[in-house]
Structure 1
Amino acid sequence: MWRTCSLFSAWCLLFFTESCAQSHRRPSFTCGGNITGDSGVIGSQGYPGVYPPNTKCVWRITVPEGKVVVLAFRSIDLENDNLCRYDYVDVYSGHANGQRLGRFCGTFKPGALVSTGNKMLVQMVSDANTAGSGFLAVFSSAHPHERGDQYCGGRLDKPSGTFKTPNWPEKDYPAGVTCSWHITAPKNQIIEVKFEKFDVERDNYCRYDHVSIFNGAEINDAKRIGKFCGDSPPAPVFSDGNQLLIQFLSDLSLTADGFIGHYKFRPKKFPTTTIPPTTTTQPATSRPIPLKYSVALCQQKCKRRGTLQSNYCSSNFVITGTVITAVVRGGSTYVTVSIINLYKEGNLAIQQAGKTMSTKIIILCKKCPFIRRGLNYVFMGEVDDEGRGKIAPHHFVMLFKSKNQKGLNVLKNKQC
């Protein structure tokens, strides 16, 4: 909380005042409504009690002309689903036919959401089976960021082009902006996107400032290719079809240098490297493993050494996860892992698409250990300079079973 309050004390004071008032008189939240003003609080029907089933509630928020709406979730507890198909909250910029800023469910709180104008629509839908206390959110008005007469983002339909964060490269991008670039190619072509420079506030789960890339023309978690933050440029991204949407969002606190990216159209027969929808593949330009090192390493006898306990402290990262992809390149196997649990992170780069977290791991010797797609493993290893996990024959990898969970939880609290 201090993270935001240090820079936006007035905004936090609003919520503090609301919280104090609630200690004496808890507000009664109804199903939707039209709300105007500089700031306010909205919540699901009956919050913090369990929200009712089979409902659709719509809140239309309007702040003064010339301002934008900033919405921050203080609490969210809805039925969880990877694609938010059952109970969910949708947030739109504008009141009618506006751009969807996101769909949310479960208990994961997104960063601040910013409209492009002075109106925002929040819609909550529940099915016949409910599970949770709903949501509580605070909205406020803010001055929009402008560069000349243009907001950031827009439609891009030339064969190639560039997109970048506001203020690039003179200074950091501003707080509280949302930029969406909609790239459209001819029907027989796809789109390639590469980031030349990339520096966006780092967070393990990219909850605050982030870049999301979607197949198609709308923000849809089911079509999300990836969600990125930190200071390492994402791997090149290829669209499935002829449309791609790139969304950049910064919340109301820390900022960074930002990014500059380039796109170009490609023939549809061009071999894509996108793995939908949880992650993107290893870039072909990644730094290769030195050949002499790999050959010497892979001549060792392939035998697991030690136990979970004896390898835990010496490992840079420890995760459990499901192998989604395993691609052999040269003498190594490049693996994408959907994370089940994270025990030691180190500098491991983690991407999030929807509610799924994933990471990339290189098995230096392609058959040691031998990894199969679709199986669950415990991975303990090192992290390279690009944030990828690195597994050599002497590192500890084993099939993950539910009985291992207790032991790993104990190790997580161990002082190494």
Structure 2
Amino acid sequence: MSRASAWAPLCLLLAAVAPLSRQQPPERPVFTCGGILTGESGFIGSEGFPGVYPPNSKCTWKITVPEGKVVVLNFRFIDLESDNLCRYDFVDVYNGHANGQRIGRFCGTFRPGALVSSGNKMMVQMISDANTAGNGFMAMFSAAEPNERGDQYCGGRLERPSGSFKTPNWPDRDYPAGVTCVWHIIAPKNQLIELKFEKFDVERDNYCRYDYMAVFNGGEVNDAQRIGKYCGDSPPAPIVSERNELLIQFLSDLSLTADGFIGHYKFRPKKLPTTTVPPVTTTVPVTATAGVKPTVALCQQKCRRSGTLESNYCSSNFVLAGTVITTVTRGGSLHATISIINIYKEGSLAIQQAGKNMSARVTAVCKQCPLLRRGMNYIIMGQVGEDGRGKLMPNSFIMMFKTKNQKLLNALKNKQC
């Protein structure tokens, strides 16, 4: 949004919140850095709004409406430094006042739909870095009854063992423009959550910048815990949480809309490590009568990759270079998220995109074989499971990635297998 085009709606907004007086012209409201706000309704804005907000600031607004009601926050204007991941200047919105669930992070000129707290308290926090660009934001808060849930309100807390969630208006018509929905699913401590999507149709974009659904491990919007960001008309593959909480966020911008989606969730027990398989005591190889070798026997094998980059390329379902950004040990396996530097062979591997960043999830069946360390760059070759995750066996070809490898990998990419 250009600065010139921003001023027309700004003037109207400021006139709406300025106190009216017959004796003197309206006064421009003064917005300060943070504050404590109570009552049925009110306005908050970035420091100095509509002027350019200051650099290196952290402002916190704590909003409280009467007991028994919820807070509804509507952004009237937003113009912050733009970034696909909102890493520099951004506004965070939380349930409650302290240690609350983050229900949204916003930047650029995207104006989200109504945000609704689960109780009578909400916290808004704006952070800017050393380089600023924009006029900041202004938003109105108001109190509402918890059951006042029209098209603009959606999401909620889901704690039953199974259930469904869907975009507003489903299945009668397209979801509305300018909505924000957050569903927080909570299972008992010893259980995980499985998601499946029956239908899915969200405005298509290569980077899912406009309308999208994002799924996070845990109870808040957190890029480090993001499982995936989805748009288009292909339902995501089934998703299983790493812990007992998932957060699903849906946002639509103010332009094109689509059918939306309906998803189903259910709780399921954590899989326990395999302990019933007896140790292998015979020199006779374990035959494949059951399809695969027992995990315990498999993990007793030597951790040794076989062959070369060239010899493994065609026999692998996927080949990529990437950085290990998260690792979680579950049972005897290691589950890792790989930030992709380059992908040479994709196969059926599920790729998640956030802006220009791509990532994939892989599972090392034996947690230290091959060994993946956080922060390290690897060339990874492997097979793909039915869930779209990469599957790494003890003999899978993994090696440290160096820039000198790129010439050979690019040549292999053009190889006919």
Tell me the TM-score normalised to structure 1 length.
Answer: 0.53
1:262 aligns with 2:268: no
- Partners of 2:93 and 2:105 within 8 A in 1: no
Cα deviation for residue 387 of structure 1 reads 4.1
Question: 1:373 aligned to 2:372?
Answer: yes
Aligned position for 2:165 = 163
Q: What residue in structure 1 maps to residue 256 of structure 2? A: 253
Aligned in 2, Cα 1:140/1:222: closer, same or farther, shift over 3 Å? closer
Q: 2:154 aligns with which of 145, 152, 174?
A: 152
- Is the 1:321–1:340 contact (alpha carbons within 8 Å) kept by the matching residues of 2? yes
Separation of aligned partners in 1, 2:359 and 2:386:
18
Pair 382,69 (structure 1): closer, same or farther in 2 beyond 3 Å: same
Q: How does 1:121-200 map to 2 (within 5 A)?
A: 123-126=125-128, 130-134=129-133, 151-183=153-185, 192-197=193-198, 199=200
Q: Letter of the aligned partner of 1:232 in structure 2?
A: P
Q: Which residue identity does 1:212 align to in structure 2?
A: V
- 1:360 is the counterpart of 2:347: no
Per the alignment, do residues 413 and 182 of structure 1 end up closer, same or farther by CA in structure 2, a change over 3 Å counting? closer
Which amino acid counterpart does residue 175 of structure 1 have in structure 2? A
Per-residue displacement from partner, 1:361-381 (whole Å, max 9, x unpaired)? 3679x79x9520215311356
- Which residue does the alignment assign to 2:19? none
- After superposition, the C-alpha distances for 1:258-277 in whole angstroms (9 at most, x for unaligned) are 1222344x7xxx4369xxxx
**1:235 maps onto 2:239 in alignment:** yes
Q: Do 1:76 and 1:136's aligned partners in 2 also have CA atoms closer than 8 Å?
A: no
Partner AA of 2:378 in structure 1: Y
Q: Deviations over 1:1-55 (max 9, x none)?
A: xxxxxxxxxxxxx75962899xxxxxxxx9868989xxxx96753xxxxx53355
Identical counterparts, % of pairs: 30
Aligned residue among 313, 320, 334 for 2:322: 320
Structure 2 Cα separation of the partners of residues 73 and 320 of structure 1: 34
2-structure distance, mates of 1:42, 1:212? 34
Question: Does structure 1 residue 18 correspond to structure 2 residue 5?
Answer: yes
Q: Would you say the 8 A contact 1:323–1:372 is kept in 2?
A: no
Match of 1:278 in 2: none
Does residue 215 in structure 1 map to residue 215 in structure 2? Answer: no
Deviation at 1:232, TM superposition (A): 2.0
Tell me which amino acid in the other structure corresponds to 1:250.
S
Residues 289-325 of structure 1 show CA distances to partners (whole Å, capped at 9, x for unaligned) of x999989xx9xx96333569x969x986533222744
Residue 4 of structure 1 is matched in structure 2 by none
Aligned pair count reads: 329
Other-structure match for 2:22: none
Distance 2:150 2:83 in 1: 41
- Equivalent residue number for residue 76 of structure 1: 82
Q: TM-score, normalised by structure 2?
A: 0.53
For the residue of structure 2 that corresponds to 1:247, the secondary structure is: strand
Indicate the residue corresponding to 1:276 in structure 2: none
Summarize deviations over 1:379-413 as a string: whole Å, max 9, x none: 35676775444679999642124x44875998899
Where does residue 280 of structure 1 map in the other structure?
A: none
Shift in Å at residue 209 of structure 1? 0.5
Partner SS for 2:5: helix
Which residue in 1 is equivalent to 2:399? Answer: 398
Q: Which runs of 5+ in 2 are unaligned?
A: 9-29, 34-41, 64-71, 117-121, 141-147, 273-287, 299-303
Q: Which runs of 5+ in 1 are unaligned?
A: 1-13, 22-29, 46-50, 61-65, 274-289
- 2:336 paired with 1:336: yes
Helix, strand or coil at the partner of 1:113: coil
* Equivalent residue letter for 2:82: I
Question: Partner of 1:48 in structure 2?
Answer: none
Cα displacement string for residues 115-150 of structure 1 (whole angstroms, at most 9, x for unaligned residues) = 247xx9974335xxx543455678899xxxx98688
Return closer, same or farther for 1:72/1:153 CA change in 2, 3 Å cut-off: same
Question: Residues 182 and 246 of structure 1 are in contact (CA less than 8 Å); yes or no, is this contact kept in structure 2?
Answer: yes
One-letter amino acid of the structure 2 residue matched with residue 235 of structure 1: I
C-alpha RMSD of matched pairs (Å): 6.1
CA contact (8 A) 2:193 2:240 kept: yes
Aligned twin of 2:306: 303
Q: CA deviation at 1:90?
A: 2.1
Contact 1:200 1:209 in 2 (8 A): no
Q: Quick one: distance in 2 between partners of 1:250 and 1:77?
A: 17
Secondary structure, aligned partner of 1:124: strand
Q: 2:306 touches 2:397 (CA, 8 Å); kept in 1?
A: no
Cα separation, 1, equivalents of 2:150 and 2:206: 34
Could you report, residue by residue, the CA deviation over 1:45-74 in whole angstroms, capped at 9, with x for unpaired residues? 3xxxxx53355387x9xxxxx995476767
CA distance in structure 2 between the aligned counterparts of 1:317 and 1:135, rounded to whole angstroms:
42
3-state DSSP class of the match of 1:18?
helix
The structure whose Rg is larger is 2
